[in-house]
Chains A and B, each alone.
Chain A
Amino acid sequence: QKEVEQNSGPLSVPEGAIASLNCTYSDRVSQSFFWYRQYSGKSPELIMSIYSNGDKEDGRFTAQLNKASQYVSLLIRDSQPSDSATYLCAVNGDHGNNRLAFGKGNQVVVIP
């Protein structure tokens, strides 16, 4: 089992709709969780970090964490064409080794 899994294929959403991305992880001791946005040909850009169970909101983005289910998600409200990108889930396990494990990413296409 891969450390971080993002299984959904490309996600197409109409402009103004909600995009929902999911991520599961295998290491139960994981303590930090991040979402990165990566535009084609660019490097990953940190958009959200979450450390405790529940929801964290930042503008149009909401991250949700459920450690018991080893599950983290990202919601993008009022999706805009500029949100079209690949979204990478990253999980930091034991803070002693501070190693981020990345998923393969989910491509989001917002249709005007």
Chain B
Amino acid sequence: EAGVVQSPRYKIIEKKQPVAFWCNPISGHNTLYWYRQNLGQGPELLIRYENEEAVDDSQLPKDRFSAERLKGVDSTLKIQPAELGDSAVYLCASSLGQGVYEQFFGPGTRLTVL
């Protein structure tokens, strides 16, 4: 079974530029999560989708971050404009849902904002 797929793996941009990350969850997983992980810290949830619906986006900085999950499968997370403090690893995870809570992570995208 294929795992969670993310692209790109690395991204270097200058501040104020836009950036987008893409995620394809494990087949059949209804719940999709975007996390941000800073160095030396655990992942922090940005947004959770149940199918197409964003059910928990309370920690998403909505002034510059946006996300979508069209058709309830792939998802895109966008930052516009990026700031220096956005440098981090952006992780996508998925879980089966329907009472199954184990989350499986993709390889992540390491973002560097210069």
Contacts and interface: CB of A to CB of B under 8 A. Distances in A.
A44 B41 contact: no
Chain B interface category by residue count: 20 to 34
A99 B102 contact: no
Contact of A49 (B42, B43, B102): B102
Nearest to B92: A43
Interface SS of chain A: strand
A34 B105 CA distance: 13
Interface of B: 31, 33, 40-45, 48, 56, 89, 91, 95, 99, 101-108
User: Closest 7 A-B residue pairs measured CB to CB?
Assistant: A102-B42, A43-B105, A43-B108, A32-B101, A44-B105, A88-B42, A43-B107
Interface of A: 4, 32, 34, 36, 42-46, 49, 88, 90, 92, 95, 97-100, 102-105
